Amino acid sequence: MPCPMPAIDCAESRDGRLLVFEVDSRGLVHAADPLATYPYTAAVMRYAFDALETMLFDRARIEGHKT
């Protein structure tokens, strides 16, 4: 995909194959799923949110804004 950050929604099927639900040039990253059901998502969401925050602060410094 010729885009800087594609979104791929996928899972592993019962027989171990990759099951792709969706591929898009943008994606929705959220932390709304219950941790009891999806305990592995908290670390991934924190990583994504931290990366977004870093990118925004870096961009603000480049553009000359105070952070």
37, 22: one domain: no
Q: Does residue 41 contact residue 33 with C-beta atoms inside 8 Å?
A: yes
For the segment 23-42, the average pLDDT, to the nearest whole number, is 80
Condensed to tens digits (0 to 9), the pLDDT of residues 5-32 reads: 677 888 888 999 989 988 887 777 677 8
* Residue linked to tokens 């804004």: 65
62, 41: one domain: yes
Give the side-chain half-sphere CA count within 13 A for 4. 0
Residue 3: the pLDDT is 56
21, 51: one domain: no
Q: Please, which pLDDT band fits residue 2 given cuts at 50, 70 and 90?
A: low
Q: Does residue 41 contact residue 30 with C-beta atoms inside 8 Å?
A: no
Burial of residue 27, with CB atoms counted within 10 A of its CB: 0-12 exposed, 13-18 middle, 19 or more buried: middle
Domain of residue 66, residue span: 31-67
Condensed to tens digits (0 to 9), the pLDDT of residues 48-60 reads: 889 889 988 888 8
Sorted by sequence, the CB contacts under 8 Å of residue 23 that are 6+ apart come out as 1, 6, 7, 8, 9
5, 23: one domain: yes
